[in-house]
Chains A and B, each alone.
With several copies, the nearest count.
Chain A
Amino acid sequence: MLIRRQTDIPFEQDPAGRLLPWIVAIMIYLSGVAIAGAIALNGAVSTWSSGLSGTLTIQIPAGTAFPKAQQHADAVLALLRKTPGIGEARRLPRAEVLRLVRPWLGDEGKGDGGKGNGGKGGDADAGGLPLPILIDVRTAAGADIDSAALAARVARAAPGAVTENHARWAGRLIGLARSIWLVALIVVALIGLATVITVVFATRTGLRIHRRVIGLLHLIGAHDRYIARQFERQALWLSLQGAVVGVALAVGTVFGVVHLAGEAELQPADAAIFTPAQWAIFACLPGVAALVALLTARITVLRTLRRMT
């Protein structure tokens, strides 16, 4: 083409060209991190609610002082089987008990019997402490158990046994998690709003900076759409740039945090906290941001032009 394919509107010199992508990148980064946090929290909450709510754990102490721990455990299991409203009761295998106890004991709990071993009646011990027997109780769906009464009966059947009601505790945690989730949503919404306002700002600014150019294009016989299209493309391109950078950094951060959390044994290292569908949210983020920017620019320009006559 011999007449250069320049835009009629000289966006190159606009401050938006250099600064808008950075603002969008930061915004998208922050919302990416917030979304990741919300997803992770959501996963944890649903694990808790499915795994724990409506559940009791009975802890039966073992060791030198409790030679009858095994009988007590059997007695408790028998008692539970007779109790109406109890769906399932099972003794946790030793490995799982060890895993649950480990954070409370530190690295010594990881394998060897340790010094000062005083355990006899219980299972294997951890760091010199006899491992208690844990019974996981799942209440039947919809059943309303009087947990205090049950706890008393359990304590009678197995002296020293402690009944923990996870449902209440988990309910509270879930409630707290829900509010944090809500805060994350609000944060994402606010960041989205700030991004939209920034795009509107950049577009209005562009309209102001290029007012004379636009006025002249109008006078020369350009349609509104002809002008709007150039602004749309600009907004699309700038915010796409920023969004891609922001999402990349956010995904990097999430990977880093997941890695660190695995190192700190806060969660199983091999667990996939994000499903492919959830990763897809991140993949979509730049597209969504760019589309929002495009539409924001179009609407802003067409409205402004209509007012210009």
Chain B
Amino acid sequence: MRTDLFDGEKPVVRFDQVGVRYGAGPEVLRDIAFSLEPGSFHFLTGESGAGKSTLMRLIHLSLRPTRGLVHLFGRDTATLPRDRVPDLRRRIGVVYQDFRLLDHLTAVDNVALPLRVAGARGPDVRNHVSELLRWVGLGERLAAKPPTLSGGEQQRVAIARAVINRPDLLLADEPTGNVDDNIGVRLIHLFEELNRMGTTVVIATHNFGLVDRFRYPRLDLEDGALKLIRTPSPPC
């Protein structure tokens, strides 16, 4: 589905000599150049403060680079007019490190939000949402609001919201920080499922257990520079 959106197999994301500096501070990211091919799957690693979330923000257009070019779905984002940004964002699913759920909406409504914002309606939507929540183990908490969910439960709602509209690109920032390894593995399987249907996936994580287990190529941030680390054996 939606293969038309891939703009003739152009990279989903392409960075050219991107540098980021917050205010007058040092460069957090330096000379970042990489591209993500449609349908690829990467882990993003680096120690705390290395710039993983910053890189995600660049891709999601919530942060502009200090220098360099960011291409998204084949478009140069520097020249993108402000009112075209929402349309690009609708093609990206994001799991934020701090979840960012809406406290006044139920789990179902939170997950359905990207569909509503994009104008989707109808009973299919709700069934689809409920099914997904059941899949991440929240079948009992469909009508619960985020403040009444445990940390791990909130994280899974955030993940469900990011994947509900089968985005072309999925960015997940530390999506397993609040769940145990069993659930963590299950969540990675969910991302793999999505990936198989064409979604490009990037997962930032500190959990080397998962990285070692799934053996997808790693984008590693160190001292502001990005290095691609390919693991020889195929994913298990």
Residue numbers of A with Cβ under 8 A of B are: 1-4, 6, 8, 10, 13, 212-213, 215-224, 226, 306, 309
A213 with B117: CB separation less than 8 A: no
Counted as pairs of residues, one from A and one from B, with CB atoms less than 8 Å apart, the total is: 61
Task: Please judge, given known A-B contacts A10-B104, A213-B102, A220-B89, whether A1 and B109 are in contact too, CB under 8 Å.
Answer: no
A10 CA to B113 CA, complexed, in Å: 14
Q: Give 15 pairs: A residue, B residue, CB < 8 Å, sorted on A.
A: A1-B121, A1-B122, A2-B125, A2-B126, A215-B100, A217-B117, A219-B100, A220-B113, A221-B86, A221-B117, A222-B86, A222-B117, A223-B86, A224-B83, A309-B62
Q: How far is the CB of A228 from chain B (nearest CB, A)?
A: 13
Q: Which A residue's beta carbon lies closest to that of B106?
A: A4
A221 with B90: CB separation less than 8 A: yes
A221 with B83: CB separation less than 8 A: no
A213 CA to B101 CA, complexed, in Å: 8
Most A Cβ at <10 Å: residue of B102, B103, B112? B102
B114 with A4: CB separation less than 8 A: no
A216 CA to B110 CA, complexed, in Å: 11
A217 CA to B89 CA, complexed, in Å: 11
Across the interface, A3 reaches (CB within 8 A) one of B86, B109, B118, namely B109
B123 with A221: CB separation less than 8 A: no
B100 with A221: CB separation less than 8 A: no
A10 CA to B94 CA, complexed, in Å: 23
A156 CA to B104 CA, complexed, in Å: 90
B117 with A220: CB separation less than 8 A: yes
Most B Cβ at <10 Å: residue of A8, A215, A220, A222? A220
A220 CA to B108 CA, complexed, in Å: 16
Across the interface, B118 reaches (CB within 8 A) one of A4, A8, A219, A221, namely A221
**In the complex, chain A residues whose CB is within 8 Å of the CB of B13:** none
A159 CA to B9 CA, complexed, in Å: 113
A221 with B60: CB separation less than 8 A: no
B89 with A3: CB separation less than 8 A: no
A250 CA to B116 CA, complexed, in Å: 43
**In the complex, chain A residues whose CB is within 8 Å of the CB of B123:** 2
Task: Please judge, given known A-B contacts A6-B109, A223-B86, whether A216 and B100 are in contact too, CB under 8 Å.
Answer: yes
A221 CA to B122 CA, complexed, in Å: 20
Q: In the complex, given contacts A218-B86, A221-B86, what are 13 additional A-B residue pairs having Cβ atoms less than 8 angstroms apart? A: A1-B122, A2-B122, A2-B123, A2-B126, A3-B108, A3-B125, A6-B109, A8-B105, A8-B117, A10-B102, A212-B100, A220-B113, A222-B86
> B87 interface residue, CB < 8 Å from A?
yes
Q: How far is the CB of A201 from chain B (nearest CB, A)?
A: 21
User: Interface readout for B44-83 with A: 1 if CB under 8 Å, 0 if not?
Assistant: 0000000000000000101000000000000000000011
**In the complex, chain A residues whose CB is within 8 Å of the CB of B129:** 3
